[in-house]
Amino acid sequence: MEKILVSRCLLGHKVRYDGGASGPFDPLAAWQAEGRVVAICPEVAGGLPTPRPPAEIPGGQGIDVWEGRAQVLTAEGEDFTSAFLDGARQALALVQRHHIRIAILKANSPSCGNLLTHDGTFSGVKVSGEGVTAALLKRHGVQVFSELELPQAAIALTQL
């Protein structure tokens, strides 16, 4: 049975930066009941508390963080880069341990966003790009979807 990596907030766990959750979602609950779900919050896994200040990637995207061209910062300038990198590495370790080929991660997150992230100005503006964890997983061949793409993820799962 194919396992799926899922952001913990999408399962209803209160691990978001604001102490809230972003789910649960019925398809994820069904996959969880089947024993397919491997859950992680990369930010918490990397050592950040809940709640925590919001963070963005000024002047870049997840790949830029990996390549040392950008940092993950709070609006006050606190550097969360090492926690984001560590959490992403832990997500990749789970992917490798469980032979996971599909991940469903939180949309727009500086860690998990797969299509859009915030632009780094803390103004709410979103730009095309991916977060730190999504970038790492994609570069290791994982198909990354968000909670906005659950039907596409379900199709991809049936095609594995």
User: How far is the C-alpha of 149 from the C-alpha of 105, rounded, in Å?
Assistant: 10
* Residue 150: per-residue pLDDT: 97
Q: Identify whether 110 is preceded by a cis peptide bond (ω within 30 of 0).
A: no
Residue-level pLDDT at 157 = 94
pLDDT score recorded for residue 56:
97
Beta strands of 49-114 (E only): which ranges?
Answer: 55-56, 73-74, 102-105
> Three-state SS for 6?
strand
Rounded CA separation 118/62 (Å): 11
- Provide the pLDDT confidence category of residue 4 given band limits of 50, 70 and 90: very high
pLDDT at 96: 98
Per residue in 105-158, pLDDT (tens digit) is: 999 999 999 999 999 999 999 999 999 999 999 999 999 999 999 999 999 999
* 65-120 residue pLDDT tens: 999 999 999 999 999 999 999 999 999 999 999 999 999 999 999 999 999 999 99
Q: What is the rounded distance in angstroms from the CA atom of residue 97 to the CA atom of residue 64?
A: 26
In this prediction, residue 60 carries a pLDDT of: 94
Q: How many CB atoms lie within 10 A of CB 19?
A: 11
CB-CB contact of 116 with 125 (8 Å): no
Cα gap 90→84, rounded to integer Å = 10
Q: pLDDT of 46-66, one tens digit each?
A: 999 999 999 999 999 999 999
Give the phi and the psi of residue 89 in degrees, each rounded to 5. -65, -35
Distance CA 134, CA 91 (A): 10
